[in-house]
Amino acid sequence: MLNIAIIGASGYTGVELARLLSNHPEVRLTLVTSRQFEGQPLSQVFPNLRTKVDLLCENPDIDRLCDSADFYFAAVPHKTAMDLVPHLRRAGKKVVDLSADFRLRDQTVYEQWYQPHSSAQFLSEAVYGLPELYRDDIAGSSLVANPGCYPTSIILGLAPLLKAGIIDPETIIADSKSGTSGAGRSAQIGSLFCEVTDGFRAYKVGGTHRHTPEIEQELSLLGGRDIRISFTPHLLPLSRGILSTIYARLQSDQTEDAIHQLYQTMYADEPFVRVLPPGNLPATQYVRGSNFCDIGFTIDRRTGRIIVLSAIDNIVKGAAGQAVQNMNIMCGFDETKGLEVVPLFP
Ligand SMILES: NC(=O)C1=CN([C@@H]2O[C@H](COP(=O)(O)OP(=O)(O)OC[C@H]3O[C@@H](n4cnc5c(N)ncnc54)[C@H](OP(=O)(O)O)[C@@H]3O)[C@@H](O)[C@H]2O)C=CC1
Ligand SMILES: CC(=O)N[C@@H](CCC(=O)OP(=O)(O)O)C(=O)O
């Protein structure tokens, strides 16, 4: 059995990691951290874990951390992760970092969008943890930077089109809508019930959301040239789920069957990408609680644009589920272990 620590277990991705890992046959949770709930059972902080997780929350003291497990999930905010990861790596531990701290390959770009990087020497070691693109690199890595939730939905939605070179990369627009759990569990006015319910709004409009450089980094690698996109996030009055609606102009006339074939070919062996037949469109309620990314598309003949829709659960494929998928790959386990759950509906 592999001993696992979740650093930041009292957050939304932390509780989701605990839920998924408690059902994983190859691992045992040995440490969960939370400063605010130190000494309390995690199953008291999150009663859904009753009888499934029997650990007390501990303060994340670095020496105790390094002695407590073989494999670490850093489910803490960015900035915190960059200060923790070097200690874990120097102790020879494998880490999946759910924060943004090791996702951008270029330190300058990271520092433009976030803050000064205290452990930039680890950027070259980190592998971007999108298994559908980097499975082999992830398998050989000890530090995986788990992708952001919006980037996961958009990159998976566009990858087959960019690889095939059939869309004009200068015309990409992604409108994404996320459930409120994406903002984390800390108290913030913008996440209060009255601020979110019965309404729908965009935020960080005009290329100002910090996921923009992450999405552009990966799309540029797929397209083999520098790509800039228009990305607008929106906040939904839902707890979980992301739906990204992505537009791009087709470079030439294409049939729906030919494009469907492109998606089928790229994702044929992917356990967590479900390509929908032409005419079927994804929705957040059909991936809820699961590690699936559902992708559908349609061609707007009047404008010559393709419209791709990509749905994930932001806490599962957008965070904790993808992190477990990465752990499975890094440790040589069956990639679907702990993640076999069918989406919860209704
Ligand atoms: N929510 C989502 O949908 C997604 C989140 N992510 C990323 O995953 C990470 C966790 O997100 P999420 O679970 O939503 O966040 P939450 O705010 O819900 O939880 C954060 C966790 O980190 C701990 N923490 C906060 N500050 C520190 C610190 N200085 N030292 C040690 N522990 C700390 C908190 O516990 P305590 O304060 O008690 O110690 C808490 O357990 C973030 O980097 C986020 O960007 C990525 C993709 C999607
Ligand atoms: C709804 C909402 O607020 N979503 C978060 C992004 C979700 C996320 O966790 O992304 P990172 O892993 O990069 O932090 C936001 O817009 O900042």
CA of 144 to the centre of ligand 2 (A): 18
pLDDT at residue 223, as a whole number: 97
Residue (of 346, 308, 320, 312) closest to 177 by Cα position: 312
Ligand 1, residue 315: give the atom nearest the CA.
Answer: 3
Side chain identity, residue 205: V
> Between β-strands 173-178 and 242-249, what pairing exists: parallel, antiparallel or unpaired?
antiparallel
Residue 319 pLDDT exceeds 90: yes
Where in the sequence numbering do the catalytic residues fall? 149
Asked if 201 and 233 count as a contact pair (C-beta separation under 8 A), the reply is no
20-54 per-position pLDDT tens digit: 999 999 999 999 999 999 999 999 999 999 999 99
Helix (H, G, I), strand (E, B) or coil at 317: helix
pLDDT at residue 61, as a whole number: 92
Give dist(CA 194, CA 2) in Å, integer. 43
Q: Is 180 in the pocket of ligand 1 (CB under 6 A)?
A: no
198-252 per-position pLDDT tens digit: 999 999 999 999 999 999 999 999 999 999 999 999 999 999 999 999 999 999 9
CA of 291 to the centre of ligand 1 (A): 20
- Measuring from each residue's beta carbon to the nearest atom of ligand 2, which residues come in under 6 Å? 100, 148-149, 178, 182-183, 211, 233, 235
CATH of domain 149-314: 3.30.360.10
Whole-number average pLDDT of the chain: 97
162-172 per-position pLDDT tens digit: 999 999 999 99
Ligand 2, residue 13: give the atom nearest the CA.
Answer: 9
Residue 126 pLDDT exceeds 90: yes
Numbered ranges of CATH 3.30.360.10 in the chain: 149-314
CATH 3.40.50.720 for the 2-125 domain, yes or no: yes
pLDDT at residue 50, as a whole number: 98
Q: What is the DSSP string of 221-286?
A: HHHTS----EEEEEE-SSSS-EEEEEEEEBSS---HHHHHHHHHHHHTT-TTEEEPPTT----GGG
Banded pLDDT at 63 (limits 50, 70, 90): confident
Q: For the chain, what percent of residues have pLDDT higher than 70?
A: 100
Helix axes 149-164, 256-267, angle to 10 degrees: 120
Side chain identity, residue 78: H
If residue 72 lies in a helix (H) or strand (E), which one and from where to where? strand 71-74
Q: Residue 38 CA: which ligand is closest?
A: 1
Ligand 2, residue 319: give the atom nearest the CA.
Answer: 12
Give dist(CA 77, CA 8) in Å, integer. 9
Asked if 110 and 92 count as a contact pair (C-beta separation under 8 A), the reply is no
Q: Is 12 in the pocket of ligand 1 (CB under 6 A)?
A: yes
Ligand 1 binding pocket mutation candidate from 6, 10, 12, 13 (most atoms within 8 A of CB): 13
Q: Residue 210 CA: which ligand is closest?
A: 2
Strand order in the sheet with 71-74: 57-58, 27-33, 2-7, 71-74, 94-97, 143-145, 127-128
CA of 75 to the centre of ligand 1 (A): 5
Mean pLDDT score, 334-341: 97
> Whose alpha carbon is nearest atom 12 of ligand 1?
184
Instruction: Tell me if ipTM is over 0.90.
Output: yes
Ligand 2, residue 179: give the atom nearest the CA.
Answer: 1
Numbered ranges of CATH 3.40.50.720 in the chain: 2-125
Ligand 1, residue 78: give the atom nearest the CA.
Answer: 43
| Residue with tokens 């040239």, as numbered in its chain | 225
> Whose alpha carbon is nearest atom 3 of ligand 2?
183
Residue 114 pLDDT exceeds 90: yes
Q: Is 317 in the pocket of ligand 1 (CB under 6 A)?
A: no
CA of 80 to the centre of ligand 1 (A): 9
pLDDT at residue 139, as a whole number: 98
CA of 171 to the centre of ligand 2 (A): 24
| Residue with tokens 């998606």, as numbered in its chain | 263
CA of 102 to the centre of ligand 1 (A): 15
Mean pLDDT score, 86-101: 97
245-284 per-position pLDDT tens digit: 999 999 999 999 999 999 999 999 999 999 999 989 999 9
Helix (H, G, I), strand (E, B) or coil at 73: strand
